[in-house]
Amino acid sequence: MHIYKVGGAVRDRLLGRPVSDIDWLVVGATVEEMHAKGYRPVGADFPVFLHPTTGEEYALARTERKSGRGYGGFTFHASPDVTLEEDLIRRDLTINAMAEDEAGVLYDPYHGKNDLDQRLLRHVSPAFAEDPLRVLRVARFAARYAPLGFRVAGETLELMRQISASGELQALTAERSWKEIERALMEAQPQVFFQVLQACGALPELLPELEDDTQALVALEQAALHEQPLHVRWACLLHGLAPASIKAVNQRLKAPRECQELALLTGECLAQGNQALALPAMALLELLQKFDVYRRPQRFEDFLVACQMTAFGEGKAGYPQADYLRGAAAAARAVDVKPLVQAGLTGQALGEALKAERLEALEVYQRS
């Protein structure tokens, strides 16, 4: 049997980028031989194994044929007679379809090295169209490698257009789509992901809410430039949508709770954040209560940063509202509940007294 390094590890080494995980390909072996060598199978009917000591993934060479709509609609054929070329041709992009043997010799039947040099994301074969997830993968690689000058090859974009027009993207599960979106959001230029989806007609299929939203991508770009975490980037992307649309997107894509929460709160409260300096003390208090800033201070901070990123996206040089609101939050949080409890207040009466004291603290803060 022959073992090759494949996929991202080969591509990123040639690009001079750090290699995080290595995918291995095994040609000419049977499942029984893998067992005999101590490899552990990953799943019952999938020809992928974990190395006995390193834990890295070793996949048997296989061919694939589409057998139905959407995910799972694939039949695999893994056997010792499947060649390296046959395995590589089922892969998405030429730059992902290169292999390297143990001596470091490059196998590149689909000219991935040439496309790397030309900075082109190009599909390997027409079988590309068999898995609609590849539309998202290409957009994600475009976002990742945009700083290096990569773009999607014309004929690949055309194929992505056809996939989008076919309605096949609707067959993707929320889990598979979100995984790509999440990774794309964390890339250096995540806005490119959405630009590519727009260019191939996939955006109306996946995120129709964002179609005419010109502010979404500039806010996201700022969030990435400022190295913000996933949930802040997600909130920036959705900030211009009506709360009902934000809810719909969140639920359709099954975004994680932290992302859902911050996006919705940001959508609902951004206008108030922008007007913070003109808000009456009562409105300030209600904003702080809505965020439960007493128990969830970080969530309020994330909101302020998201607001700031949207302001940067609109070309503003600063966002004084953020520091002003930080000060207001600190003033309200400084109110001590203990004396009120010691005075014998409980339940609703305690809640009202606390609110009155916080309101007063905010009024003092505003005068200072």
Question: Pattern of binders to Mg ion over 4-23, x per CB under 5 A?
Answer: ----x---------------
- Nearest-angstrom CA–CA distance, 366 and 119: 55
Q: Is 91 annotated as a binding residue?
A: yes
Tokens 């970080």 sit on residue? 298
**Binding of residue 134 to ligand ATP (CB under 6 A):** yes
Between residues 159 and 284, which has the closer beta carbon with respect to ligand ATP? 159
Total number of residues binding ligand ATP (CB under 6 A)?
11
**Binding of residue 361 to ligand ATP (CB under 6 A):** no
Pairing relationship of beta strands 62-66 and 57-60 according to DSSP bridges: unpaired
Name the minimum Å distance from CB 35 to ligand ATP.
23
- Nearest-angstrom CA–CA distance, 65 and 357: 68
- Nearest-angstrom CA–CA distance, 30 and 25: 13
For 6, the 3-state DSSP assignment is strand
**DSSP characters over 312-351:** HHTT-S--HHHHHHHHHHHHHHT--SHHHHHTT--HHHHH
- Nearest-angstrom CA–CA distance, 11 and 131: 21
Stretch that binds ligand ATP, among 133-141, 232-240, 277-285, 353-361 (CB under 6 A): 133-141
Looking at 4, 7, 29, 139, which residue binds ligand ATP (CB under 6 A)? 7
Pairing relationship of beta strands 46-50 and 40-43 according to DSSP bridges: antiparallel
Stretch that binds ligand ATP, among 127-135, 201-209, 249-257, 346-354 (CB under 6 A): 127-135
Between residues 23 and 168, which has the closer beta carbon with respect to ligand ATP? 23
Name the minimum Å distance from CB 62 to ligand ATP.
11
Between residues 8 and 297, which has the closer beta carbon with respect to ligand ATP? 8
Q: Residue 222: phi, psi to the nearest 5?
A: -65, -40
Distance, CA of 42 to chain centre = 25
Q: Is 21 annotated as a binding residue?
A: yes
Tokens 């590149």 sit on residue? 108
**Binding of residue 115 to ligand ATP (CB under 6 A):** no
Residue 250 contact partner, candidates Mg ion, ligand ATP, none, CB within 5 to 8 A by sort of partner: none
- Nearest-angstrom CA–CA distance, 331 and 366: 10
Q: How many CB atoms lie within 10 A of CB 36?
A: 10
Looking at 5, 62, 91, 239, which residue binds ligand ATP (CB under 6 A)? 91
Between residues 8 and 41, which has the closer beta carbon with respect to ligand ATP? 8
Which positions touch ligand ATP (CB under 6 A)? 7-8, 23, 91-92, 96-97, 131, 133-134, 137
- Known binding residues for ATP are 8, 11, 91, 137, 140
